[in-house]
Structure 1
């Protein structure tokens, strides 16, 4: 993964999101040790303090936990927590933006529902 330096999203947030994606994909499992701040710093060529901030963000959200002297580990049920968090934050934002655009284009609620259902059908067919 390559981190974005466009200033739109802080590097530590990108690190946290990358680790979340690794957990969601099953690359890192429940109760498994995750990368240290120094490993992340080397992997992404960033300051270890920045990597630590990303790790601490995940710890604050109870996605990872610290074992003193051993490192950080994935919390049991972390995948479910991440899914709930992303649904709540990302999906709601996307739906809000879609509704706002539909209003600007004078698309009715019924028309929007039809468009979404058609898109879901098309997506399922392409899988």
Structure 2
């Protein structure tokens, strides 16, 4: 992953989202040790404090937990928590934007539903 330094999204949030995606993909499993702030800082060429802020954000959301003297680990409920959070925030926002755009283009509901179904099946609409 390459961080987007031009984005309005803070780097620590981008780090947290990348870690969430790695957990969702199964690349980092339940109760597995998370990267340290120093490993992340080296991987992404960022300040360790910025990396720590991303890790701490996930800890505050109970996606990670701390084992004293050992570091941060992936919570057993991390994947459901991430899915719930992304569904409630990211997906809802995207759907609202999609519906607003469809309305501005006079796309009927059924046509929009068909487009979504096709996209979900991996087909492109022409």
TM-score under structure 2 normalisation?
A: 0.90
Q: How far apart, CA to CA, are the structure 2 residues paired with 1:43 and 1:8?
A: 21
Counterpart secondary structure, 2:76: coil
1:48: which partner in 2? 48
Deviations 1:9-66 (A, max 9, x none): 1110011011111111111111111111111111111111000000000001100011
Counterpart secondary structure, 2:7: coil
* CA-based RMSD: 1.7
C-alpha displacement of 1:124: 6.7
Q: How far apart, CA to CA, are the structure 2 residues paired with 1:58 and 1:100?
A: 31
Distance change >3 Å, CA 103–CA 5, structure 1 → 2? same
More off after superposition, 56-65 vs 79-88: 79-88
Q: How far apart, CA to CA, are the structure 2 residues paired with 1:69 and 1:94?
A: 40
Distance change >3 Å, CA 124–CA 111, structure 1 → 2? closer
Q: How far apart, CA to CA, are the structure 2 residues paired with 1:117 and 1:41?
A: 40
In structure 1, the gaps of 5 or more residues are none
Superposed, which structure 2 residues align to 1:2-13 within 5 Å? 2-13=2-13
Q: How far apart, CA to CA, are the structure 2 residues paired with 1:36 and 1:120?
A: 36
Superposed, which structure 2 residues align to 1:29-48 within 5 Å? 29-48=29-48
Q: Is 1:120 equivalent to 2:120 in the alignment?
A: yes
In structure 2, the gaps of 5 or more residues are none
Runs of 4+ in structure 1 off by over 3 angstroms are 118-121
Q: How far apart, CA to CA, are the structure 2 residues paired with 1:117 and 1:39?
A: 40
Distance change >3 Å, CA 2–CA 118, structure 1 → 2? closer
Distance change >3 Å, CA 96–CA 29, structure 1 → 2? same
